[in-house]
Amino acid sequence: MSRANAIPLLFCVALPLMSACAPGASSGLAQVMRGDHEMVECLVLSGMNAGHLDMLSRSACYASTGIETGAPLTGAYPRDPAIAARPAPRVGGAKVDAPADTRRTGAPAATGGRQIAIEIPASIATDVVETTIEGRVRGTMSIAQLEVDGTPADVGPNGRFSATVHTPIGRTIVPVVAVDRQGARATAVVEINRRQPATGVPRNDLPPLVPPSVAVRPNPNRVAVIVGVSRYGYMPEAEFADRDANAFRDFATVTLGIAEDRILLLTNDAATRTEVMLALRSWLAAHSEPDTSEVFVFFAGHGIASNDGEALHLLLADTSPSLLEQTAIAEGTLVREIQSHQPRSITLFIDACFSGVGRDGEVLVETARGIRPTAKPRSYGGNVRIFAAAQNDQIALGARSVGHGLFSYFLMRGLAGASDADRNGTVTWSELERYVVDAVSRTAAARNVQQRPFAQIRTPDEPVAGLR
């Protein structure tokens, strides 16, 4: 029997019953168990399938009938207290996302001493388009017909049956109707809840960040200053920035070959403007050689542009929005301080944005007119490389599933070998740039955010990290 043919067959029984749904009708229509299935009673009594649910009026059905919402119905119209008091049997073996004690049975239909009972899950939670309903039907007479959502289903040994129904996203009510060879009828319902799939990137989409187990040979010419500020005295937190800095310290040793005694790490309360300036002037002077040293600076935290857009400020633990020029460090100032030591090269890894918005979207500093300042494009000398988390008017996201900034995460994965496109054991600057820009952009886009890392790299074929 097709679904189209099933509706008239059941509707011939429903016509006298639907009149009872009108105001003023008798309330003794059917045995109903507890629950909340809204318009199920009128649905199954009318012989309609789940696709017709929106056609019915809940208020019209329940205004005066006194029917309790929920539970499967029976074809035995008078209420039978003995049957109502009988506990629903628990039947295992159904492949459903519901505990056994939530299984439900239609109260047996009793006609001339004959009874029918349908045992099915009360509810099913699913993530798929097609859902299988498994159950059992029992009766004192053999079952002539079983329909699930208006479609005939085969009944096997011991009354067991299985049927697959289409389940759109959201809540679907599926009626199950059994009729024996003498015409006795019982009806039960299953509530199927299909969860909406997660949009964008799932929470656990990113693998953990783990440094390579084997470090490259130390490079005595390399030195690093690493700064990470999550906790600010006068501004919102920069989520995971200190974790980014702590992790990068390990990656700097293992992948960049920087000796531990040539790395200075400053995080949170230790990362004040004074301490960072001392690192740039005094510590670097003691740990670098003119024309030989390769200086790496990693910064994770907040950033903001000056009101005129000329300066890009890196915000430190003690930075005050009202004293921005005096308590932050401009990126240009950072570069000039390092250039004073005349190193062979300078590399800046900046996991901060300069749009005035933090990693969680919170505005850091508002101008008097409530407009966030916009930074102008930056450009430095030929020996300066910059790899930054985002363009100047974009935000830099955090990835909570791994507890890191999105840019920092993919930067470190790239240094660890994920960017080694030709698998030759060496990561070049061009390979690192392509990998990080693509990975960050795609991951941010999946979260409905535009974030495209900024890169100024003039030596694309030069190795940056070794893997052996």
Q: Measured between alpha carbons, how far is 421 from 417 in angstroms, rounded to an integer?
A: 9
Using CA atoms, how far residue 173 sits from 15, 331, 368, 456, in Å, is 21, 61, 56, 58
Using CA atoms, how far residue 425 sits from 209, 418, 421, 463, 465, in Å, is 19, 11, 10, 10, 9
Reading the block at residue 292, the tokens are: 């030989």
- Does residue 145 contact residue 179 with C-beta atoms inside 8 Å? yes
When comparing pLDDT for 200 and 185, which is higher? 185
List phi, psi (to 5°) of 196.
-75, 130
Task: Over range 69-73, report the average pLDDT.
Answer: 36
Q: How confident is the model at residue 143, as a pLDDT?
A: 85
- Among 85-89, 205-209, 360-364, which is the least confidently predicted range? 85-89
Q: Measured between alpha carbons, how far is 315 from 337 in angstroms, rounded to an integer?
A: 17
Contacts of 242 (CB under 8 A, 6+ apart): 228, 229, 230, 231, 267, 268, 300
Could you tell me the residue ranges of all domains in the chain? 3-194, 222-466
Contacts of 445 (CB under 8 A, 6+ apart): none
Indicate the Cα dihedral angle 289, 292, 294, 295, nearest 10°: 20
Q: Measured between alpha carbons, how far is 270 from 152 in angstroms, rounded to an integer?
A: 73
The residue length of the chain stands at: 468
Q: Measured between alpha carbons, how far is 436 from 421 in angstroms, rounded to an integer?
A: 12
CATH class as words, domain 222-466: alpha beta
Q: In the predicted model, is pLDDT for residue 35 greater than 60?
A: no
Q: In the predicted model, is pLDDT for residue 140 greater than 80?
A: no
Task: Over range 257-279, report the average pLDDT.
Answer: 97
- Among 3-17, 282-296, 398-412, 444-458, which is the least confidently predicted range? 3-17
- Does residue 172 contact residue 150 with C-beta atoms inside 8 Å? no
- Among 33-47, 226-240, 331-345, 423-437, which is the least confidently predicted range? 33-47
- Among 68-72, 154-158, 280-284, which is the least confidently predicted range? 68-72
The sign of the torsion formed by the CA atoms of 400, 401, 404, 410 equals negative
Asked, colleague to colleague, whether 3-194 and 222-466 share their fold, the answer is no
Q: In the predicted model, is pLDDT for residue 228 greater than 70?
A: yes
Q: How confident is the model at residue 306, as a pLDDT?
A: 82
When comparing pLDDT for 305 and 36, which is higher? 305
DSSP tag of 355: B
Please name the amino acid found at residue 287.
H
CATH fit for domain 3-194, picks 2.30.30.230, 2.60.40.10, 3.10.50.40, 2.40.50.100: 2.60.40.10
Q: In the predicted model, is pLDDT for residue 162 greater than 90?
A: yes
Task: Over range 276-283, report the average pLDDT.
Answer: 97
- Among 54-58, 140-144, 183-187, 261-265, which is the least confidently predicted range? 54-58
Reading the block at residue 36, the tokens are: 């909340």
Mean pLDDT estimate for the chain: 76
Q: How confident is the model at residue 360, as a pLDDT?
A: 54
Q: State whether residue 259 is helix, strand or coil.
A: coil
Q: How confident is the model at residue 182, as a pLDDT?
A: 85
The reported pTM is: 0.58
Q: Measured between alpha carbons, how far is 314 from 286 in angstroms, rounded to an integer?
A: 24
